[in-house]
Amino acid sequence: MVKKNPVEEARRYVDNAKTLLVEHGELDVETRSYNDPKYVKMAGNTLWNGVLYILDAVFHVRSDRRRHVDIEDYRKAVGKRDNKLLQLVNVAYDKMHIYMGYDGNPYKPDCDSCFHVANDIIDRCALMLPKANA
């Protein structure tokens, strides 16, 4: 199995989420909202998975496979090392996972901000990875 660069892989998730909204998320220009929450949910979940991918590469939260990993596990691991990153993770959880992923919040400016947060998390985590992985 070929090891993937975690930063590139996380960015691929972001690109896939963007593609979902651009190609399938019909935008109502007047309300600046997507008409179909299905694609907003798919994009939000894809973004969130990209964030989890890079967090796992840096913090190895999933190394203990005996139990289900919870957001609190990520918060604890990130909080021990970087409080600013923890703030970003909390925003990502609320906006990507809950508002986009579960609720399908269709408002485009909210969705756009999720892409910015995902990229900020990836950028910050990339600095924490050993140079061979970054």
Predicted local confidence at residue 65, as pLDDT: 65
73-82 core/surface letters (b: 16 or more CB in 10 A; e: else): bbeebbeeeb
Mean pLDDT over each residue of the chain, to the nearest integer: 93
DSSP 77: H
Domain boundaries, the chain: 6-59+69-126
Give yes or no for residue 22 having a pLDDT over 50.
yes
Largest interatomic CA distance in the chain? 49
> Looking at the DSSP assignment, which residues form a beta bridge with residue 27?
34
Predicted local confidence at residue 2, as pLDDT: 47
Q: What are phi and psi of 66, to 5 degrees?
A: -75, -15
State pLDDT tens for residues 62-121: 876 667 889 999 999 999 999 999 999 999 999 999 999 999 999 999 999 999 999 999
Task: Return d(Cα 15, Cα 4) in angstroms, integer.
Answer: 16
Predicted local confidence at residue 51, as pLDDT: 98
Does the predicted model carry a pTM greater than 0.95? no
* R_g over Cα of the chain: 15
Predicted local confidence at residue 63, as pLDDT: 75
Q: Which fold has domain 6-59+69-126?
A: Four Helix Bundle (Hemerythrin (Met), subunit A) (1.20.120)
